[in-house]
Amino acid sequence: MADRRHHRFPRGEHCADCPARRWYLENGRKYCENGHQVEGYVQFDVDDEDNYNRTGRVSRKQKDIREAERKHLSGNQARGLYLACLGFIIRKQVAWLVKKKGLHPELESVCCDLWILRIRDFPGLAKDSGKSSHGNNPPPHAGPDGELAMFSSQVELPPNAPDVPPSNCKKGPKSWFTEDWALPGAIDTLALVYLGCLLRQEPVRVGDLYRWAKTNQIPFIGAIDLLPKDWRERLPGWAQKSLLTRYIKFQGSELHRAIIDLIRGYKENRCLEFPAVPAQPSLLLYLKDLALPPDVYTIVQDTCSLLDTRFSFPARGPDVKSHMLLDMPDVLLVAAIVSTAKLLYPMDGTERFSLDDGDLQTLQMNWEVWEAEFITPPKKLGSFEFEKLGPNDIWDLSKQELHEFMNWFQTTQLNSRQTDEMEIDRIFPLEAIQPLPEFQDMTDEEVEARMKRVQKAMTIVPPRPDQEGETKPEIRLYRYPSSLKGHAKRFYEVVAEVSGLTLKDLVFVVYRFDQLLLRRQIKELRRLKKEPTRREEQIDSESEA
């Protein structure tokens, strides 16, 4: 008899008829070591010939493999959701312009088309947006084809639309067709909305959008709070930081440079050129905001025409090799206004007299009255300066500044995603941060009343024909902000605030504009000196003939 192979019963079990703890198999049956059959076990069916000499199988229930769903997206999926958030913010901004400022509702479709042209060649967006951690189901807020909805009014491009730039388009250094595709930022939403207004020829200036964003009127500050909750929760850290615009540094000129980059991008990658700005409505708005006399309107137009400039980008002409702020039509208009105001109404305190009654210098500006109408508001502690405060500086904060400082600390310094709740968190729970208050602009009636008060204070100086032989003082040129004094400094500060430029950039563009005028003047003087000589030569030749 062959040796049997014994096995042990599971721990705590034994044969039902005896205390034996080992068992063996024989003829498909289970027996204890003393020969008692263990009931309830059959290795194979003896009566079934097909099962002859086949041992039993142990089948285990297969558990469903559950993939852990990541809370934050990454890669192309994260970038696609980030672009969807920017498109959502653009739609909010356009809706505010239509509702509050009375712009045409067609502005939404124009901005939608511009946004599609901006992001349509993002590498991996179309092919990867439908494959996410949601499995075969489309992601939240997805379009009909499973792609992230960039805009609610998104239109489908024709199937034969080319995905590569036309052959006559030259891709510049910032190409939209490469793998290292530069993602737009939050400030680019305002730039795109401005270009949409430019295509619609709406009287919206760059300084208007900048001021509305800075004073929390147009949806921009705290843009991340405008997004749906499920979108915010899935954004990665770098995207949330980019959309955290509550404490953005409004230093000036950021929006102008973003617009220049976007215009160049559309021209180099899409061969799209934008029309000229509506110069006349914009010029009238600037004169009202700065309380300047209507004579400036005519001189500004004549000066720009004399310099052969245009009100489309680039303003100095299509042949310029390098672009600067002065190439923006809006900035050119501001520089022309400042230069004309210095020419007609000097701010350096030097007396100038007109030669006859038709001279524009018979009217003189009362800069004391003008400066009184533009009183410098009390300087508030900027939110971006909180990180520079020391322990002793905090004691000097007012109640309102202290509240804003605590809001800044809670937003930027505390970990809002901390899962482990501490005892101090239960005792002192954090309250929701209140949105920043909105600042309203002056009404049209208040702006017109201020302009009337300034013009009423202007004086008429009788002409002095005997001054014809004397040399008039030259117009003062300011090259650096440190050279600004008195009324000129305050005038430049107000213009910089209205236009959205920094004081340094404004001084620079006005100086460059004055240089263009001086070059034109020198060129004209040289031409006038040559004309008599040519006339004399023509008379001599006629007399000889």
pTM to 2 decimal places: 0.72
Asked if residue 174 lies in contact with residue 268, where contact means CB atoms within 8 angstroms, the answer is yes
Backbone φ and ψ of 7, nearest 5° = -125, 155
Among 16-20, 277-281, 394-398, name the one with the lowest average pLDDT: 394-398
pLDDT, residue 168, reads 42
Q: Of the segments 124-133, 327-336, 346-355, which one has the largest average pLDDT value? A: 327-336
Tokens linked to 530: 């040559």
Q: pLDDT band for position 494 (50/70/90)?
A: very high
For residues 481 and 478, what is the distance between their CA atoms, to the nearest angstrom? 7
Burial 355-376 (b: 16+ CB within 10 A, else e): eeeeeebbbbbebeebbeebee
From residue 144, how far is each of 130, 147, 157, 451 by CA, in Å?
Answer: 11, 7, 14, 54
CB 533 within 8 A of CB 280: no
Mean pLDDT of the chain: 76
Question: What is the share, in percent, of the chain residues with pLDDT greater than 90?
Answer: 26
